[in-house]
Structure 1
Amino acid sequence: MIDTLPLLFLDVDGPLIPFGASRQELPHGYPTYSSGRRQPRGAGTHPLISRIDPAHGPRLTALPCTLVWATTWMSDANDCIAPWLGLPELPVVNWPEPSDEDETGRVHWKTRILLDWAAGRPFAWVDDEITDADRTWVAAHRPGRTLLHHVDARKGLMDADFAALDQWLRTCVPAGDNR
């Protein structure tokens, strides 16, 4: 069966692992969590994994979409983060080798690759590095439905982000699909 649900491209650093808040914003530092799940060898060695709220796992799986890792963690996201969140192994966008080009003020290096990967399918992209340049480029090069959802890296995914994603994704679910 062909999956007709929209894609949700998910970045890790920023949306799932918050970072960059000042001491004034978080005088006691970021909260840490325990997932209560058995971790594969090496997963607990990442110093920031405990910043990921394991409650995000059920919230992500409740969204009417096909989740795809769109992160520089690549397959490590399936090894470390998916078990932490209780997610199954997810598809992974494989990135090309980095370029020495300066991307300042231009389209993010992930943008073109995600459009190609989606192959015309509706998608939402959740990342802390999305800019107006990305939105403008996507609007000019993509006739299909897209949502480029910027997340504040200092806070990570919040209730309002999940609500916005759920609302948008539900507008893309084919009629008669009750997911």
Structure 2
Amino acid sequence: MVKPHVSKGKQLIHSSSSRSRNYKPFHKVFGNVHEGQGYADKRKRKIINQYRKIRKHMLKEKKESSQQMHDEKTDKTRTVKEETSPKFKQPRKEAVSIIKEKKTKRTDGNRKSKLTRFSKVEMEFKQQKLIKEKQAQEAQKIREEKKAALDRYKSSKRARHKKLSQKSKKGQPIMKYHVEHLLKKIKSDKL
């Protein structure tokens, strides 16, 4: 009698003939179960493909825009050449002089300068910076005060411990300092 072979929790059926049927799972699993069965790899490949697709479109758009820029540059060179011809020289000088006059009018006017968005934001930023600096200085003062108070407390504690821990030659505590300490405590409580 042939015993059935057990493999990974599934039984393989052996018939009396020498042929055997191999168990094939319905879903093909890639990778380790604990590591996500290869889904991370699939996701990674998908993201890479999307990136390549986007990059391809970007390069295509860049080529088209560079061709347009090249066309515009050639158009501009034509217009500049036409303007530099003797026909167009006189009006161009007049235009430059008009622009200069406008600039001088703007600067000469005694109007109040309007605040632009940038200047408003800059002022707000400076105010916020001043506020932060003040807060930092206050925090620093508080830290220094706390440190000074802690130092005073530690020094008094050290002195008190030094006095109270004094012993006689036989190892008995000296009561004189204990009594003085208690007396100080009582006086401070009364006040």
**TM-score (normalizing by structure 1):** 0.15
Higher relative contact order (CA 8 A, sep 6+): 1
Task: Say which structure is richer in helix.
Answer: 2
**TM-score (normalizing by structure 2):** 0.14
Q: Which has the larger radius of gyration?
A: 2
